[in-house]
Amino acid sequence: MSAAENQDQVIIKPLTGAGGAAVWGLDITKMDDAGYGQVNDLMLQYGALAIHGQADASVDDLRSFGLHYGELDIHGYSPTVEGFDDVMTIGQLRGEAFHSDVSWKEVPPKYSMLLARKVPSLGGGTLYANQYKAYEGLSDPMKAFVDPLFAIHDGRQFDLEQIKHPVTHPVVITHPETGRKALYVNRNFTQRIVDLEPDESRAILEYLYRHTIRTYYQFRIDYEVGTIAIWDNRCVLHSPCPDYDVTEERLMHRVTALCETRPIQ
């Protein structure tokens, strides 16, 4: 694919060799089945998209867009838009931590979508790390070691009660649409590896946490007002990038479409 393609007035520009693409010419308020299919095809190719030019999209429009890809997640622990339990309000974020959204749920998210309402004059983007490439970057003996493992995830970062309700997911998952393998651990929510001794689990997870976010696998989306960032939680990690002036406002609306089934090996 060339650096930029025009497909029926839709312009697609890959972001880096690690993944991601910027897209112009789509309108989620007027999208038909062909448009939804094109977005899904691009997601499977790039892992994350910056769909620019959606400033006129309402909360209902964003929900309708998300619902086309799955049931919308109700997070349960973060602020939401009044009247919409499934639309989160993401304000100022000063932390940074790569993760896959709410991997502590039995059926975790498929696609997450952030619609930029207010953005700082500089910075405030989102970083991503391609977990296909992270898996492929492991040595063959390490792949053979981690392939059969399972890990426990919980949401204690949001509520300590979640420690009592852990879920177990494979350390390496197979993407149900592409068939490719991806690492599926993150420092926020993955607590330990099943069947390993505590010291062994900590050592392996610490290695994987660092490995999954190597710069080789990273790319970035920057926002304009009206940009929708959409990413595939099954094959990319993401992290806010708090590189903007604290006196400026950053405001996003987020919806998250759930997977149809649990992650599989």
Tens of pLDDT along the chain (265 residues) come to 444 555 468 999 999 999 999 999 999 999 999 999 999 999 999 999 999 999 999 999 999 999 999 999 999 888 899 999 999 999 877 777 999 999 999 999 999 999 999 999 999 999 999 999 999 999 999 999 999 999 999 999 888 998 999 999 999 999 999 999 999 999 999 999 999 999 999 999 999 999 999 999 999 999 999 999 999 999 999 999 989 998 999 999 999 999 999 999 9
Tokens found for residue 63: 């929900």
> Which pLDDT value is given to residue 198?
97
Torsion of CA 58, 94, 71, 183, to 10 degrees: 140
> Could you give the CA distance from residue 160 to residue 239 in angstroms, rounded to a whole number?
22
Place of tokens 């999954």: 212
Contacts of 90-95 with C-beta under 8 Å, sequence gap 24+, read 90/114, 90/250, 90/251, 90/252, 90/253, 90/254, 91/249, 91/250, 91/251, 91/252, 92/246, 92/249, 92/250, 93/240, 93/242, 93/250, 94/242, 94/246, 95/240, 95/242
β-strands 172-174, 126-130 pairing: unpaired
β-strands 19-24, 48-51 pairing: parallel
What residues pair up with 19 in beta bridges, in sequence order? Answer: 16
| Coil/strand/helix, residue 241 | coil
> Which pLDDT value is given to residue 95?
73
What residues pair up with 237 in beta bridges, in sequence order? Answer: 129
- Domains belonging to the chain, first-starting first, are 5-123+219-235+244-258 (3.60.130.10), 130-212 (no CATH)
| Coil/strand/helix, residue 71 | coil
Identity (one letter) of the amino acid at 196? L
> Could you give the CA distance from residue 165 to residue 155 in angstroms, rounded to a whole number?
8
What residues pair up with 218 in beta bridges, in sequence order? Answer: 129
Give the Cβ contact number of residue 264 at 10 Å.
10
The whole model's pTM is what?
0.94
b vs e for 159-177, b when ≥16 Cβ sit within 10 Å of the residue's Cβ? eeebeeebbebbbbbebee
